[in-house]
Structure 1
């Protein structure tokens, strides 16, 4: 039988599992994995692996995930490379979950079941009064031609709307919250390491939110396109893993006046300066260079949060020589 894993940010996955139990009773080989605020991506992956290990057929597993591009999606998508019998579907809702449990007995495999759930999940989204549902728009030939015509390149270069340091790069907060707030044409991950890692590069490209393209480029390439007039009509949200790479981009002549700091993961040799940011001496020196160049450094996880200054936290860290 196909094993089912519900995966989400917060308690949604556990809630869906509980709701399915109300309809069908307790189900064998159904489990839930939640990404909690205190968890790093690798902690979620470990929880996912542990949950799947408890299923009777750990190589025949369907993972139903809340949203495309978040940490649960990214970590599960990476796991698919090592598990040819797994499949994942995003947009987790109760009709989808109920259909999965009702139909898995007849399904040959997790991959066969995944295709069925796309239809049922969409059917479960309804509105009352029914006339509130959007109607298909008629598109004239003239309008189609106008949209198909390429825009002429303008003066200047890439229009950078937002710059963020986040060691998780493209995850749920960026894909859903910041992209809706900033509304860029592209999300560009600027990292030499990721640009040379085909697996991470592909995962980031897949994680792009609807209507926005995601690209990965090394620092040198970003400096080039930032001054290329062919990109003058393109708006971008830049994502960096480290403040050191931001310094390199500014040294390359790209003006960045405001740096949003989201998350910098803790590792050996780093100290926490607040709930989500851990730095070492090299990070502190890079932040000093950014501060000395007049960059505003603000810590803000999501748009709804109040921005707090980062530089005073760096000064108090004791890491500056």
Structure 2
């Protein structure tokens, strides 16, 4: 796997590393190098050499630096000449760039290939509100993912996820990269009635993907439409298992549901860090399982899968103890 070194003035490299880990999951073969106020070029070069030596493969290394011409860049560049056929340096490091680099390592084997690929996402991740401030040239330069709206056929469901946070960073980046949807559909009666939440969700959609908010009954109708969605890859987001159950019972043809996050609230127990259950939640999952669905318990694609049966068993035991106390 291509090694990645993040280099910056101050703690920026460490901060962006932490942010990307929260969104995409923990990564191997990634190191940070920082230039602190009391340090000079030689200090940075020594840190850089140490970071390179700690990578599994010192031949394929991608350097993401904060500023072209700054000290971190200059010290990488001073080492670059002997490795210019393999190494690559990209300046202007931002979070979309780093997440795209992580995702690209899953399918690309060279630093130079990844460097060329991540530039578009780094630029595409820079947006402005109000949108009118963007020049026509900037707007036209953003790549648009082609869709087949109007082609005969139904949706292909690339992911169905239960997540009380709905469309957030982990979904908009890591899951979108993994599943490649053309549409993200939030399926919720509650959110469909909330114009502000609907607008925020639509604005949070990653570049090239359309986001929609529909009530459960509308999703059931869309799932049965065999004329308008051929070629469309749908990522469905549910706030809770009850909405997912209604959709499945209504005819939305799901086979697996990813369980990512269920927030704690009064009356719920929390058997692990990210999932909280009421009795109604547990009953809904039991019905989904009886309907033939399987469950993929992960926050992000890189996480190991949890055992929902075991998690629910613990939740039921805790609920029973609460009732008896």
Scaled by the length of structure 1, the TM-score of the pair is 0.56
Question: Does 1:176 pair with 2:173?
Answer: yes
The DSSP-based 3-state class of the residue aligned with 2:207 is coil
Q: How far 1:195 sits from its partner (Å)? A: 0.9
Question: Which runs of 5 or more structure 2 residues have no equivalent in the other structure?
Answer: 1-11, 21-31, 40-64, 71-90, 98-110, 121-144
Say whether the 8 Å CA contact 1:165–1:260 is kept in structure 2.
yes
**2:258 aligned to 248, 257, 260, which one?**
260
Say whether the 8 Å CA contact 1:223–1:249 is kept in structure 2.
yes
Q: Deviations over 1:17-74 (max 9, x none)?
A: x868679xxxxxxxxxxxxxxxxxxxxxxxxxxxxxxxxxxxxxxxxxxxxxxxxxxx
Runs of 4+ in 1 over 4 A off after TM superposition: 6-9, 18-23, 120-123, 132-136, 147-152
Question: Does 1:215 pair with 2:223?
Answer: no
- Please show how residues 224-263 of structure 1 align to structure 2 within 5 Å: 224-229=221-226, 230-263=228-261
Closer, same or farther: CA 22–183 of 1 in aligned 2, 3 Å: farther
Q: How far 1:163 sits from its partner (Å)? A: 0.5
Q: How far 1:243 sits from its partner (Å)? A: 0.1
Say whether the 8 Å CA contact 2:242–2:284 is kept in structure 1.
yes
The residue that corresponds to 2:288 in the other structure is: 290
Alpha-carbon separation, structure 2, partners of 1:300 and 1:182: 14
Q: How far 1:168 sits from its partner (Å)? A: 0.8
The residue that corresponds to 1:303 in the other structure is: 301
Q: Deviations over 1:248-270 (max 9, x none)?
A: 00111112111110011111111
Alpha-carbon separation, structure 2, partners of 1:225 and 1:304: 31
Say whether the 8 Å CA contact 1:194–1:201 is kept in structure 2.
yes
Q: Deviations over 1:62-93 (max 9, x none)?
A: xxxxxxxxxxxxxxxxxxxxxxxxxxxxxxx8
Closer, same or farther: CA 232–22 of 1 in aligned 2, 3 Å: farther
The DSSP-based 3-state class of the residue aligned with 2:295 is strand
Q: Report the aligned-residue RMSD.
A: 4.0
Closer, same or farther: CA 266–154 of 1 in aligned 2, 3 Å: same
The residue that corresponds to 2:103 in the other structure is: none
The DSSP-based 3-state class of the residue aligned with 1:286 is helix
The DSSP-based 3-state class of the residue aligned with 2:264 is coil
Alpha-carbon separation, structure 1, partners of 2:207 and 2:275: 29
The residue that corresponds to 1:280 in the other structure is: 278
- Count of aligned positions: 213
Closer, same or farther: CA 95–197 of 1 in aligned 2, 3 Å: farther
Q: How far 1:312 sits from its partner (Å)? A: 2.6
The residue that corresponds to 2:18 in the other structure is: 10
Question: Which runs of 5 or more structure 1 residues have no equivalent in the other structure?
Answer: 1-5, 24-92, 99-119, 137-146
The DSSP-based 3-state class of the residue aligned with 2:181 is coil
